[in-house]
Structure 1
Amino acid sequence: MFSDTPHTVPTRLSDDPLVTEIRDCRLCQAQLPLGPRPVVQFNASARLLIIGQAPGLKVHHSGIPWDDPSGQRLRQWLNLTPEQFYNPNDVAIVPMGFCYPGRGKSGDNPPDPRCAPQWHRQVLQRLSHVRLTLLVGQYAQRHYLNGFSSLTDSVRRWRDHLDTGCLPLPHPSPRNNLWLRRNPWFEQQVVPELQHRVRAALKQGD
């Protein structure tokens, strides 16, 4: 197993001007308890797209996507090193909400509903080389999957979504440890197939 420390991040930077435009966004400024700090990663050449929820507090402070225990577990599921994961030429990271939404009664607040309609269409138009899209968590799945009923149902029926190029995943947060214990089939059956499809998506020269 490779060593994964959240701050082991390469110096490659997203050079698409749309990334700069998103990072300058102040659309939801009045509703954000800590102010805006949009977190996003992509270049037009990316072949793997990860659509998650919204940055947590640690990611808000670092500005590095998935720079927390959730990200460490996600990289383990994908079998990607931090160097691979944080290469915007290969991996696009586009959450449903680009800024930390603050804390609610039982965890972080949902992503601001204005964020994805404002930016996702423009981003997806850039990402014409994407071979696999990972929908991480219920907010991404509710937005992008037709007939969404529940996260567990979407993940259990992951094969049904492959014809759209999408693969739904539970959120890798430690808060979901109970879900993972109750659904051992995910790590036993889905994760190996996930790793295979991520390798295929990132394979060079085809």
Structure 2
Amino acid sequence: MDAPSVPFAGLVWRDYHGVLLPYSAQDGPRDSGNDLAAGFARTPRGALLAGVHVAVRANAQWGPKVFEPTIGNQVTGPDAAALLASTREVYGHRRGRLPQGAALGRGYVVLEGFRWQGYSAESASLDLVSAGPGDSDTTARAVTRVQLQWRDGDWRVIGPPGGTWSGAASSIEALDGYIRFPGGGGG
């Protein structure tokens, strides 16, 4: 698999409940109704955008109206069911007194950059760097491996190992060796 260059020209960054996400008229998502995102081009930039949008939405933070269809329709592989179960569990623990189905609040994360592990027209793998508030007024950075397959006319994320994003993530100190997102993301 190759590590292609991805042009950032034409990307627009839009707020998604506190998280700025990239959109492209050419590469997707073509459908972003109901807080969901689908319809990505079979291009390197389409794979990158799919990885970003699906990974962000497959999260308990946005409530089951977002994470259930995202995981159910856009996550594949042997750990997809475990991801749905663990996300439901996290949502149940964090919901507190909020009504069932409510979002848990806005996001406090910035997408800073990425690095290809490989790309082909059938599959892609990338490391996505995000930053958010850490302990004692510090910034915590994490890199998350996102793997994708082209299936049924769109990119699908392969469920992370063990069915949790923490199984695909690790801490990093700096963005050395990563491609920084321009504009709304990390720059």
For the aligned pair, the TM-score class normalised by the smaller chain equals under 0.3
Please state which structure has a larger fraction of its residues in strand: 2
Please state which structure has a larger fraction of its residues in helix: 1
With the length of structure 1 as denominator, give the TM-score of the two structures. 0.25
